[in-house]
Amino acid sequence: MKPNGGFLVSKIKQLSDRVFERILSEQKIDAFNGAQGRILYVLWQEDGVPIRTISEKCGLALTSLTTMLERMETAGLIVRRQDAEDRRKTLLFLTPGAKRLKPKYESVSEQMSAIFYEGFTKKEILEFEAALERIRANLEGWKPE
């Protein structure tokens, strides 16, 4: 048997992005899209973080983030400020409006989890998530030879 985990992960990512966008649309949430939701999620956990932290936690390239962050700032979701201690760093902060969107995001996330884990036992969910964490660690630790 030839392993095809990489293909499956890519396909799951593609499908989950589509479903997430569909749920946002059905709930008439147009304040953010799925990719912006990941950025907001990181900031809901810790506000005022450097752009590099967002890049690492969301798995987005810094070049990809630039345009997304500009759109989010224009939409009134975030503000950018220079770090007072290190002026080379730009910190991202949520606006009050973005803070109020957290319950909507959590609702969509709960729906996604229900779809992901339909038919799974709690034990299967824990085992699956442990395996995913191992894969994430492998990928983050990978260095070309």
pLDDT per residue, tens digit, the chain (145 aa), is: 788 888 999 999 999 999 999 999 999 999 999 889 999 999 999 999 999 999 988 888 888 898 999 999 999 999 999 988 888 889 999 999 999 999 999 999 999 999 999 999 999 999 999 999 999 899 888 888 7
What's the CATH number for 26-140? Answer: 1.10.10.10
In the chain, where are the structural domains located? 26-140
- Name which of 45, 41, 54, 106 is nearest 80 in CA terms: 54
Query: Is 24 within 8 Å of 33 (Cβ atoms)?
Result: yes
pTM, to two decimals: 0.83
* DSSP 3-state of 49: strand
The residues near 126 (Cβ < 8 Å, ≥ 6 apart) are: none
